[in-house]
Amino acid sequence: MASGDPERGTKNRGYNTANVHYVETSDKLWTSWLIPIFVVANIAVFIVVMYVNNCPKNNLDFYGKCVAKFLGRLSFQPLKENPLFGPSSSTLEKMGALEWNKVVHEHQGWRLITSMWLHAGVIHLLANMLSLIFIGIRLEQQFGFVRVGIIYLLSGFGGSILSSLFIQRNISVGASGALFGLLGAMLSELLTNWTIYANKIAALMTLVIIIAINLAVGILPHVDNFAHIGGFLTGFLLGFVILLRPQFGWHESRHLPADTRVKSRHTAYQYVLLLVAVVLLIVG
């Protein structure tokens, strides 16, 4: 009888030298569907925001004319106001952007969640969604929708919390906190499952480059690196807890003769990292 979860897709056994990252697994791969839904949801929310924004009606021409007027009420604010091809700040605030005063003094804590589904413009949305597809689908295929969904949502929430603590005069929007949570989880997963990876340095350098590029996005309007850092730290710690894999060779050792010493499922350092991560998550 085949091992693994019946909801998963095709099986991938043995070594995989074509993949710079993962080299051994006896688990089946999941079919990725949650990450595509997140992508569609973010795009749909952006369209709704632009519809509510209605630049032709609400623009007062202080910064110039609406961009792409052929889109009608979906046209963008003047580039002097929003260079990312998106709505006005007032529309983003109305639709649930993260704003410290409203969260703290007006008790609108729901903004900690809604802000992660909003984007400042087409460029912001495109950058985040391409990164989400590139990173999220791979993680969901390997670890399933439950664990990846938990990391995504909690990291977005963690990013919003840190952002609201440090950004008190501007609004903040974007899925970057959740995205950085997935990056953080990828890094902790690489570290805690070190024995099952080939080309470890190449995998580590790839992650570092991706993280650096996304941090550069923090200089864009309405996007802040505090959300990135908060999301990254949340995902990094969660990765140690819920992305734990059996050590290299454990699957094969289970099928050895009865008198053969079988490898333990996890190494001591994996348990140490898990314990430290749990403590930090609780304290944090």
CB 119 within 8 A of CB 128: yes
Q: For residue 164, give Cα distances in angstroms to 25, 59, 104, 138, 235.
A: 40, 28, 9, 30, 18
Residue 126: the pLDDT is 93
pLDDT digits (tens, 9 = 90+) for 91-123: 999 999 999 899 988 999 999 999 999 999 999
Of the residues 88, 176, 188, 251, only one is catalytic, namely 176
Nearest one of 245, 246, 239, 186 to 211, comparing CA atoms:
186
Nearest one of 178, 112, 189, 114 to 151, comparing CA atoms:
178
- Amino acid in the structure at residue 282: I
User: Locate tokens 């460029």: which residue?
Assistant: 123
pLDDT digits (tens, 9 = 90+) for 140-183: 998 999 999 999 999 999 999 998 888 888 888 989 899 999 99
CB 125 within 8 A of CB 119: yes
DSSP-derived secondary structure for the chain: ---S-TT--SB--S--TTSSSB----SBPPPP-HHHHHHHHHHHHHHHHHHHH-HHHH--SSS-PPB-GGGGGGPBPPTTT-TTS---HHHHHHHT-B-HHHHHTS--TTHHHHGGG--SSHHHHHHHHHHHHHHHHHHHHHH-HHHHHHHHHHHHHHHHHHHHHH--SS-B--SHHHHHHHHHHHHHHHHHTGGGBSSHHHHHHHHHHHHHHHHHGGGSTT--HHHHHHHHHHHHHHHHHH---PPTTHHHHTTS-TTSPPPPSS-HHHHHHHHHHHHHHHH-
Of the residues 119, 124, 222, 228, only one is catalytic, namely 228
Largest CA distance in the chain: 82
Residue 16: the pLDDT is 37
**Residue count (the chain):** 284
Q: What's domain 33-249+262-283's superfamily in CATH?
A: Rhomboid-like (1.20.1540.10)
Can you tell me the distance from the alpha carbon of 267 to that of 251, in angstroms, rounded to the nearest whole number? Answer: 14
Q: What angle do CA 72, 76, 80 make, to 5 degrees?
A: 145
Residue 210: the pLDDT is 75
Nearest one of 215, 94, 112 to 163, comparing CA atoms:
112
- The encoded tokens of residue 176 equal 């970057």
Q: Which residues, given as ranges, of the chain have pLDDT below 70?
A: 1-27, 194-198, 200, 217-223, 246-271, 273, 284
Its pTM surpasses 0.75: yes
176 catalytic residue (yes or no): yes
CB 97 within 8 A of CB 124: no
Q: Distance between the two ends of the chain, CA-based, in angstroms?
A: 43
Q: Kindly report the three-state secondary structure assignment for every residue of 257-277.
A: CCCCCCCCCCCHHHHHHHHHH
21 catalytic residue (yes or no): no
